[in-house]
Amino acid sequence: MNIGEVSRKAELPAKTIRYYEDIGLISPLRDTNGYRSFRDSDVHKLVFLGRARALGFTIEDCRNLLALWDDQDRASADVRAIAKEHLAQIESKISDLQAIRDTLSHLVRECAGDGRPDCPILQKLEEFPT
Amino acid sequence: MNIGEVSRKAELPAKTIRYYEDIGLISPLRDTNGYRSFRDSDVHKLVFLGRARALGFTIEDCRNLLALWDDQDRASADVRAIAKEHLAQIESKISDLQAIRDTLSHLVRECAGDGRPDCPILQKLEEFPT
DNA sequence: CATGGGGGTTCCAGTTAATGGAAGGTCAAT
DNA sequence: ATTGACCTTCCATTAACTGGAACCCCCATG
């Protein structure tokens, strides 16, 4: 599979995919003409990378998460521990997002549409969870 | 309030806070000695910025979201529309995170600890939601 | 009162994670 | 055989910080 098709499937620019190869996140094969030749597993990784990056995981986080999947010997407690750490991080991201969603949807429901200057969201904002 | 205290409260490096001022996301006052003097509202914005950035919102997203809050005349349908758009984006981030969490917790539950080479997560990965 | 340490300031350079563009090779169809 | 879409590398630029140098401010202690 060439880079264009992969780019469409993974919804990542070709530039970014080449960059991910440069930094060793993926290692597509090469055809005789020099074109990159992607396997399904490369595409899966790229889909994952696209999502994880969009959610604020760093490249190094992603490298670790991919290593969990690549690990041929994933029986160790280490791997489990790393995965659990990441799970905790993900749970916390989810609740942060929920907090932002709640605040924003409150803003939409209560404050848009009537122009009153003492919009209750302003009070709410003062308590915005820290 | 000086930058050090704000940095602790918002859990952002002072460097980043100065940078956010440079690019106009916040506009703290200045004391006569030239020190930045932050109001509570600045701190709230910074807390928000820290979270939103960690969740993959761009600086420009953040600028728009902050504008919703700052908007003295937030009665317009425009504001409502922008907020709704962001809400949709947030919902989609939440479900992406949930997908990643489910995959990862499956990995933890099913695959770590026994070293068998035909770990079921590998099959699962092939269906990883695109 | 000076002096040392822990703040704060600006400015400039470097890093990370891409992104844009030039210059050129490849392929499939007309 | 040439056109156009696709691929390649390489080099420069951007976005969002991050580190470091050089310097100013404040206040507690000797």
Q: What is the pLDDT of residues B24-79, one digit of tens each?
A: 999 999 999 999 999 999 999 999 999 999 998 999 989 988 888 777 666 566 77
Q: What is the pLDDT of residue A122?
A: 43
Q: What is the pLDDT of residue A72?
A: 64
Does the pLDDT at position B84 exceed 60? yes
- A45 vs A63: CA distance, rounded Å: 10
- The pair of structure tokens assigned to A78 is 């280490």
User: Of A18-27, A121-130, B74-83, B112-121, where does the model show the most confidence?
Assistant: A18-27
* Secondary structure percentages of chain B, helix, strand, coil, to 5: 65, 5, 30
Q: What is the pLDDT of residue B76?
A: 65
Question: Contact B54/A52, CB-based, under 8 Å?
Answer: no
Helix (H) or strand (E) holding B37: strand B36-37
Q: What is the pLDDT of residue A80?
A: 78
CA of B34 to C1' of D30 (A): 30
A6-49 tens-digit pLDDT: 999 999 999 999 999 999 999 999 999 999 999 999 999 999 99
Residues by CB within 7 A of strand C: list them: A 13, 15-16, 19-20, 23, 31-35, 53, 58-60; B 2-5, 7, 14, 18, 34-36
Does the pLDDT at position A58 exceed 70? yes
- A118 vs A36: CA distance, rounded Å: 59
The closest alpha carbon to B55, from A54, A59, A11, A83, belongs to A54
At residue B9, what is the residue type?
K
Q: What is the pLDDT of residue B83?
A: 82
Protein-contacted bases of chain C (C-beta within 7 A): 7-10, 16-21, 26-27
Q: What is the pLDDT of residue A99?
A: 87
User: Of A11-25, A58-72, B93-107, where does the model show the most confidence?
Assistant: A11-25
Chain B residues near residue A72 by CB distance under 8 angstroms: 117
Chain A residues near residue B97 by CB distance under 8 angstroms: 55, 90, 93-94, 97
Buried b (16+ CB within 10 A) or exposed e, A88-125: eebeebbebbeebbebbbebbeebbeeeeeebebeeeb
In terms of phi and psi (left: phi > 0; alpha: psi -120 to 50; beta: otherwise), the region of A113 is left
Does the pLDDT at position B23 exceed 90? yes
